[in-house]
Structure 1
Amino acid sequence: MSAALLVLACLLTPLGALSTWAKYEIGDTDNYVATMAPLASDPAVQGAVADAVTKEIMKQIDVGPLQGTVETFVNDAVQSFTETKAFKTAWEAANRAAHDAVQEALNNGDSDTVTIDLAPITEQVKQQLTDDGVPFGRRIPVEHTEVTVMNAQDLGNLRKGFHMLQVAGIWLPVAAALCAVAGIALAVRRRRAVTATALGMAAGAAALGAALAIGRSLTLDDLPPDVSRPAVAAVYDALTSSLRTAAWVILAVGLLVALAAWAGGRFGWWSRWGRRRA
């Protein structure tokens, strides 16, 4: 019984980190937006947004042989706008809307592709060009400039597992802790039980960290050629930052506890502590 509880605790540890992350960071709109907000200052993200908005604007205007020159000018204007406070505000608003769409798709079974609408940024660029007296500025239509966040296939694959993790929330790490405590309490050799549990939890955290690294590599390898790899990498790293930190903390704590339990047995601390309790 003790061994089964301890194995279950070790298995639940990485799942508990995932469920807490899914519910309280990815599932919470304010936390999600706060996580994505710093990306507004990331050069790779700024460049990807500038390219997407420029591409959409150039589809809507025809300046003949000056197309290349105008495109460079527009791109510079959009790039300049991405360094302003107004862009940060528009970026947060776009991500808040995108998060609501993702949650709606995951919760209600909507299989449509989820996108970030950059139209507010196009509107700001149009206004800036118009104020600067650029002749074609007023001719830029403000239409949806969409950047895909998740396609229908991704949502189908994620829906069941992600929704279950969000429902479990904090209860998975609580269950892991309870199983560990109960398993150690029932163990005949508690020092060994503590050591094994700590090492098992550390191994689970290491596996979680490895899975995040593999997931990052697979995500970047599957990108279409026209999508910015540095921008997607920045988004992936931002969204998984707290999860990577949790994995490192669990790994470090697990190794320290295992080392302390081993040292306690090696130098007699554990036996003396047990006799004092008795």
Structure 2
Amino acid sequence: MRAYSTAHLAVELPEGHPFPLYKYRGVAEALRGLLPILPAPEVPREALYLAHEAAYLERLFTEGLSREESLRLGLPFSPSLLRRALFAAGGTLAAALDALEGGLGLNLSGGTHHAFPNRAEGYSLFNDVAVAVAWLRREGFRGRVLVLDLDAHQGNGTAVFFQNDPSVYTLSLHGERNYPLKKERSDLDVGLPDGTGDEAYLLALEGALEQAWDFRPEFVFYNAGVDVLKGDRFGRLALSLEGVRRRDERVFRFVKALGVPLVVVMGGGYNRDPRLTVEAHAGTYRLALSSLA
């Protein structure tokens, strides 16, 4: 068992920018000693072209993003940003191959679910899960895939990628009034009111997982965002650390009952207390190891 990390990659950001670069190094350090943590590999360009539109990729690699596109992304475009996105997507792809072989794959990054086939949005240049699914298909995997997105924000890009693919079931449990303003159509969208706490959240999750069970997935990608925590700058929900642990426990119990491979990707987490963000993310990976490894 191993995990992949982008902690070794720097990104040029304006002073005070809210993107939480600190958490990638923090989570890797919190897990060190539990399992080998490897630098994420760069995603093959071929894999990107299996998922994203060629015109978008070619423009990205030659011209970058315009100012307007960078505003939509929420990050200033730079070569270091592009490089990090390539390795974050590579970590998810490597984790997917690990999961096929051993049942569990871990990327201490990824979950960039706002990237569309033809554009960047919401801190997401590439949709790492869509890229990994496309690569698995190319390599011959034909099983049903569940994308279980428990980030506080709807996985709008992921929904668009798979809207016409009956072999992939997209489930998003998110803040109804949160970003993105325009929601796309997942197979199952569960919108929650601002301030939703542990018990209401877990009840909603239970019902959603019951519906996903009927799909009988044969592979699961879990976007384990911790921006559901109370005090998150962008999450607008109000789970406790214990609530996040119970959420993860329920997910891992669900996957174990299915007996299928699982990939865990990090997703969002922007708590006003950075220590809580790191602790919650690290707790997810620890629980995955103790429950499924």
- Do both proteins adopt the same fold according to a TM-score greater than 0.5, normalized to the shorter chain? no
Query: Would you tell me which structure has more strand in proportion to its own residues?
Result: 2
Q: How would you bin the TM-score normalised by the shorter chain?
A: under 0.3
Query: Would you tell me which structure has more helix in proportion to its own residues?
Result: 1
Which gives a bigger RCO, structure 1 or 2 (Cα 8 Å, sep 6+)?
1
